[in-house]
Amino acid sequence: MSSTATKLEHLKNELKDRNFQHNKGLSNEVSYYILAYDPKDYPMVRKEIDSIERDYNMETIGRNIREFNLYQVMWKLLEQKGIKDAVFEMEKEDGIEYLSEQINNVLGMTDSDNELVKYVEERINANSIVLLTGIGQIYPLIRAHKILNTMHQIISDVPVVLFYPGKYDSLSLSMFGELKEDNYYRAFQIN
């Protein structure tokens, strides 16, 4: 398994690659990638994402890097729906499983055009590369496989990279290297 630093370097090389930018060489697969990393490496990952956003842009690679922190997006959407303040009370009274179910229902997470996907879709264009962060912060309220399974049905013409604090073996996801999620096999590993 590659180190987090090696994976980040590989990603930076990929971002400059025209084939990566234009979804070439993927045998008609969706251009979704997962950069799984050891959770203890989060400070390094955050620093590199900031560097990528600063240094990789239309002038340098011909693409716009668009980061979406899924945790922050979830809170924005809940606030727009006027239920942000009720979340804490719901968790306290009914537990995390019930809260997760309710958030997934409110955001329509089983629908391909769910609120989270629409939020991202409305903020990108054909020249975008999407970086998804915050999946560790949003867990277990919304699961990575749910986001990826619905998003690829709507956002299929730009590269999407999910930064995942855990393990991905091209078949299954394991949050923080311990908590098994449902299988997801459509994304390519950034190694």
Q: Which of 138, 146, 133 is nearest to 182 (CA)?
A: 146
Answer for the pair 91, 156: CB distance below 8 angstroms, yes or no: no
- Calculate the average pLDDT of the chain: 89
Say how far apart CA 153 and CA 180 lie, in whole Å: 24
Say how far apart CA 130 and CA 102 lie, in whole Å: 27
Amino acid at 82: G
Distant-in-sequence, close-in-space partners of 139: CB < 8 Å, separation ≥ 6: 175, 179
Rg (CA), the chain: 16
Answer for the pair 41, 83: CB distance below 8 angstroms, yes or no: no
Mode of pairing for the β-strands spanning 32-37 and 188-189: parallel
Task: Note down pLDDT in tens along the chain; length 191 residues.
Answer: 579 999 999 999 999 999 889 877 555 566 899 999 999 999 999 999 999 999 999 999 999 999 999 999 999 999 999 998 899 889 999 999 999 999 999 999 988 889 999 999 999 999 999 999 999 999 888 888 888 888 888 888 899 999 999 988 877 778 876 656 666 667 788 88
Answer for the pair 182, 140: CB distance below 8 angstroms, yes or no: no
User: Domain map of the chain by residue range?
Assistant: 4-189
Q: Which of 147, 141, 135 is nearest to 98 (CA)?
A: 141
